[in-house]
Amino acid sequence: GEEVRTIARSERGRARGRGRRRKLQNDRKMVVIGGYDDSMKRLGVQSWQVGEGFAPTYHFDMLQDRRRNEAYRRGIEQTVEEDDLVVDIGTGSGLLAMMAAGAGAQHVFAIEGDPKLEKAARLVIEDNRYEEKVTVIGKHSTEVKVGYGLDVPFGANVIVTEIFDSFMLGEGMVPTMHDAVKRGLLAEGGRVIPAGGRMHCVLIESDWIRRHETLRGQDLLGSVEEVKRASVEHAREAARKWTFEEPIQVHANMMLARKLARQLSRPFIGQIFDFAHPKLQDQRSVSVEVMEDGTVDAILIWWTLDMEGTGAVQLSTEPEGYGRGGFEDERDGYPPPQREHSRQAACVLPAA
Ligand SMILES: C[S@@+](CC[C@H](N)C(=O)[O-])C[C@H]1O[C@@H](n2cnc3c(N)ncnc32)[C@H](O)[C@@H]1O
């Protein structure tokens, strides 16, 4: 065993010891992340200790995203009823599973496909003494077997999940929920947190995005050679891979405030999702109110989740400043992101 002192970071970022000592088993090293928000404190999460080679770092700012955690906590408290069987798809550190257990669920099955995070979830859940209420399953949800004596005994009354990226769908929410319904992981009439979501779209013109899309290896050579001759090959390779078939993550405020893009249309709803009844193919025709002439280079996207089905509790990645009739921020300088963890996405359209 190895003994490591727990360190908590003060709000100013200075490290100070809390003097709490813990015995660690095997070769585990302690990673301590400070500044937990209220919902984590409510759950009694003090520190998050995991093995080496641990989780993708996005988990840390995600866990500190107060709005996100609060929206999930409220959604869970208003949806989960006593005696409910709850499944958390993609439990990560176990946060939402513990919230569901805290809200009175009879039992929670916390599913996590990444072995490092599965391990983290077990540690955090044990640390918080939820191990009798929460069972961690180290599998991808599409491999979970439902039935007596199997992974999960019967379909859940409630599925809670947070597998949303800036594009909303990039982590596979729709196929994941489609599969979950098909394999009986969600009981008939079961509820999903979030119950639904909307994808908001704006047509934009952006030389900046277009230039990036057409960036060729040769374009990079000159500048790279000047800076660092050794990395020309690397630059060529990077440029080759630089294609925008996938939506790119953008910071809409910043992009529009710096005039890297121009808004051509009013926002419109691109897609509406009911996660308990997910459709793999869903085409919609939408009418778009165009505000200005221009070339549509990309569609800017943000999303809103309806946490408990009435619209009373929402979580959104709407860019800050939008609500005032446009994106232009009247203040000097660049507005900070509304929520650091979740930005917006841009789907780049192929050149005409
Ligand atoms: C955005 S994180 C959210 C973690 C945690 N639920 C939270 O809210 O803090 C998503 C997690 O889900 C896992 N994941 C995504 N899709 C999954 C699936 N279909 N089955 C199991 N795990 C999944 C990822 O490995 C990742 O740890």
Domain membership flag for residue 251: yes
Domain membership flag for residue 95: yes
Q: 201 and 187, same structural domain?
A: no
CA angle 50, 169, 151 (to 5 degrees): 55
Following DSSP, what letter does each residue of 240-298 receive, concatenated? HH---SSPEEE-HHHHHHTTS-EE-B--EEEEEEETTS--S---------B-S-----E
The amino acid at 129: R
* pLDDT for 51: 39
Those residues with Cβ within 8 angstroms of residue 259's Cβ, 6 or more apart along the chain or in another chain: none
Q: 276 and 133, same structural domain?
A: no
Indicate which atom in ligand 1 lies nearest the CA of residue 179. 19
CA-to-CA dists, residue 82 to 86, 131, 160, angstroms: 11, 18, 15
d(CA 60, CA 258): 28
Domain membership flag for residue 231: yes
Q: 161 and 84, same structural domain?
A: yes
Compare 207 and 327 and report the one with higher pLDDT.
Answer: 207
Judge whether residue 330 has pLDDT over 60.
Answer: no
To test the ligand 1 pocket, which listed residue (163, 179, 339, 342) has its Cβ within 8 A of the most ligand atoms? Answer: 163
Q: 276 and 224, same structural domain?
A: yes
Q: Does 163 contact ligand 1 (Cβ within 6 A)?
A: yes
Most confident of 184-188, 255-259, 295-299: 184-188
d(CA 4, CA 13): 20
171 Cα to the center of ligand 1, angstroms: 8
Q: Does 176 contact ligand 1 (Cβ within 6 A)?
A: yes
Q: Whose alpha carbon is nearest atom 11 of ligand 1?
A: 90
Give SS3 for 17.
Answer: strand
308 Cα to the center of ligand 1, angstroms: 20
Q: How many Cβ atoms are within 10 Å of 312's Cβ, its own excluded?
A: 11
* pLDDT for 232: 54
The amino acid at 94: G
CATH number of the domain residue 287 falls in: 2.70.160.11
Q: Whose alpha carbon is nearest atom 13 of ligand 1?
A: 90
Can you give the pTM of this predicted structure? 0.77
Q: 212 and 182, same structural domain?
A: no
256 Cα to the center of ligand 1, angstroms: 31
Q: How many Cβ atoms are within 10 Å of 99's Cβ, its own excluded?
A: 27
For strands 344-348 and 248-250, give the pairing.
antiparallel
Q: 223 and 279, same structural domain?
A: yes
DSSP H or E run through 65: none
117 Cα to the center of ligand 1, angstroms: 9
Domain membership flag for residue 228: yes
d(CA 79, CA 299): 34
Q: Whose alpha carbon is nearest atom 16 of ligand 1?
A: 90
Q: Which domain holds residue 37?
A: 2-63
Q: Does 174 contact ligand 1 (Cβ within 6 A)?
A: no
Q: Does 141 contact ligand 1 (Cβ within 6 A)?
A: yes
Domain membership flag for residue 108: yes
d(CA 345, CA 73): 25
Domain membership flag for residue 321: yes
Nearest alpha-carbon partner for 103 in 124, 131, 133, 123? 133
Q: 236 and 216, same structural domain?
A: yes
94 Cα to the center of ligand 1, angstroms: 10
Domain membership flag for residue 72: no
Judge whether residue 100 has pLDDT over 90.
Answer: yes
Grade residue 129 by pLDDT with cuts at 50, 70 and 90.
very high
Judge whether residue 204 has pLDDT over 70.
Answer: yes
Domain boundary, last residue among 142, 175, 196: 196
pLDDT tens digits, 133-169? 999 999 999 999 999 999 999 999 999 999 998 888 8
d(CA 199, CA 273): 8
Instruction: Count structural domains, the chain.
Output: 3
* pLDDT for 85: 98
Judge whether residue 40 has pLDDT over 80.
Answer: no
Q: 297 and 243, same structural domain?
A: yes
